[in-house]
Amino acid sequence: MSKLTIVGLHEDRADVLDALMKMGGVEIIEDVSDGESVRTMAYASNLDMRARLKRAIEGMSLRFPEARHLVGKKLSVSEESFYLSEEDELKAQKQLSRYEELLRDEEAIDLSLSVLNDQRAQLMPWVDIPIDLTVRNTDRTTIIFGVFRDVTAFDTFERDVARDLPLASVFILEEEVKFPAKVAVVTINEQLPRMRARLAASDFHEIPDLPFTGSASETMKDLEGKVAAKEEELRKVQDELREIAEGLPLLMTYHDFLLVRSDKAAADEKIHEMSYTFFLNGWVPESDADRISRELTDQFDVVCSIKPAEEGEETPVKLKNNRFVSAFNIILEMYGAPSSQEADPMSVLAPTYMIFFGMMLSDVGYGSMLVIATAYMLFKKKVEGEMRKLASMLFISGIASIVWGFVFGGFFGDLVTVVSQGKVDFPMLWFNPMDSPTKLLLYSMVFGALHLFCGMALKIRTEWLRGNLMGGLGETVPWYLIIPGLGLILGKGAITSDPQTALLLGEIGKWLAIAGVAFALLFAGHGIKNPFKRLMKGLAELYNVASWLGDLLSYSRILALVLATSVIAAVVNMLGGMFGTSVVGYIAFALVGVLGHTLNLGLSALSAFVHTSRLQYVEMFGKFFEGGGSFWNPLRRQTEYVKIDKKANGTLSCAQSAKEAIRP
């Protein structure tokens, strides 16, 4: 990284920021001496408007298929269309406000319809009763309409009324007496409190207080008319919502326009202002510094100064690798940025991640499914952002899974063997882990040791970059000797069955271990002048042998996941084969296979992703990684819903972009 300082006139300040955002090549440095930047009311208003727009966009995408398709991938708009005029902004704001108003109207109508439908449901049992239910009182009497649930409660109530309230009467309102029975209770007003108390003690349910307009059937017609009117009103609201959804591209563009405006305002706060000029500082990749400086000086009356980072100065980190290695950047980004003073771990992380993921999944069928799914996302759906990074990584890892599937002889587990009833086995290039788990465990340890050695090589490179090569060698070379030495001593019997060869390997291993111990005692304390402290440093370094054994044992998870994938696949095949060899049996076998193997792929791929990441983060990174850095984050136009097409001729409107997006 190089430090770029730009000095220019006040009138060019906004244009220079626009140019830097379009270039996307400079990370502006905030001068901490200026204190915290002040968030203005304009920023709060911008944030609130973007939140409202986001809710509206997501709401329309959930509701309308066309809107969902538009939001599914970024719209391509021209430079001219992206920078909205004040008129376009006002139009978008009105469209948003109208959408929110319609949502409130829709909610109110839905509530009204719910109330009306509840009233219809409550009134439905009374439709056949031809009595005017609005008549509830006379000068001297009160009529109470309701329902008795069972005959026992009714008979008891009728006897009590005849005994205690002789001036009251109970009438069943239906010609055919059946329970629940609809009744009318007539009582004089003086006895109304006693009657209500008696009804409350009985299994009696009074008719709800509804907006009656006569008999129940007449009231029902009135309610149905109100429901029809509300439904028509609702239809008009929903039609207008659909029309607003057709203008969704404008809202998407407006959201991202406000996002860019907010980022620009935040960057503007980092600029140092003087009487007539301004200046800013930023980090720019060394390879791009001259080009960016030249473009700025050609467009504006500015002066640019470029100087390299000072020795030992912490700078932002930009990963620069080939396409294969870059596909695994997401794994490092999930963990954190390395320091700018240490080596880039991606040259080791990418190939080893691919190898370990492939080993853990190691099935031609599952690997092919993973490749097909990620290829669809990459080349058909053309996903972007973090999803594209993840899909690219899994696409390559899926290819590795296919390769390891041929190595271990796995195709949806033992599917070929089950289908052929043992007559044919899927070919293997090396060995079957189900038959030789100990062999796989041994090789897992070997691959683990090589992985850790690669991590130590990065440690050596980091110390070399810092001018401390001997210190890096003193901490790592002993283990390059001790671990292979112990491996030869302990594993000589697994390497050869010849006693003489085994004896020779053991002798070589012994001297390698001794040489490693001697190297640690002599050089692990490089730079310490006191001989005793130097010796103690060497002994402390040798104490790490326990940590090394623990790290190597962690690679046994490769064996566990390989066997888990194979065993679950075999169980799925066994369950599918239980239905016999008839036509129905083959159909059942296919259904069980599709469901079971898809589920196993999801579980196994997730496990491979998690545990391979753990081997990188905990085991390998523990040998060299310090971290504490920050990824380079240049000022640029970051958008969420639209993609600015710099090559577009003329003005590609939002409507045209939408038509292009939904064209089959």
CA quadruple 348, 351, 355, 357: dihedral, nearest 10 = 90
In angstroms, the CA 257 to CA 81 distance is 10
- pTM (2 decimals)? 0.79
Is residue 589 within 8 A of residue 579, CB to CB? The reply is yes
In this predicted structure, what is the pLDDT of residue 662?
45
**Dist. CA 245–CA 220, nearest whole Å:** 37
Q: Which amino acid is at 467?
A: G
Q: What is the pLDDT of residues 459-472, one digit of tens each?
A: 999 999 888 888 88
Domain parsing of the chain, residue ranges: 134-206, 323-623
Answer for the pair 648, 484: CB distance below 8 angstroms, yes or no: no
Ranges of residues in the chain whose predicted pLDDT is under 50: 32-38, 650-652, 659, 661-664
| Residue 657 confidence (pLDDT) | 53
Measured between alpha carbons, how far is 10 from 631 in angstroms, rounded to an integer? 30
Record: fold of 134-206: Alpha-Beta Plaits (3.30.70)
What is the spatial distance between Cα 361 and Cα 124, in angstroms, rounded to a whole number? 62
C-alpha to C-alpha distance for 443 and 378, rounded to whole angstroms:
34
Look up residue 139 and give its DSSP letter.
S
- The answer to whether 631 touches 337, Cβ cutoff 8 Å, is yes
Q: How far apart are CA 359 and CA 433, in angstroms?
A: 11
At CB < 8 A and 24+ separation, what contacts does 239-242 make?
Answer: 240/98, 240/102, 241/60, 241/63, 241/99, 241/102, 241/103, 241/106, 242/64
Cis peptide before 130 (omega within 30 of 0): no
pLDDT in tens, 362-419: 999 999 999 999 999 999 888 888 899 999 999 999 999 999 999 999 999 999 998 8
The two three-digit tokens of residue 338, written as one number: 């390395």
Please answer whether residues 663 and 72 qualify as being in contact, where contact means their C-beta atoms are separated by less than 8 angstroms: no
Q: What angle do CA 397, 400, 404 make, to 5 degrees?
A: 140
- Beta-bridged to residue 148, according to DSSP, are 181, 204
Q: What pLDDT does 526 receive?
A: 72
What per-residue confidence (pLDDT) applies to 52? 93
pLDDT at site 32: 45
pLDDT score for 604: 95
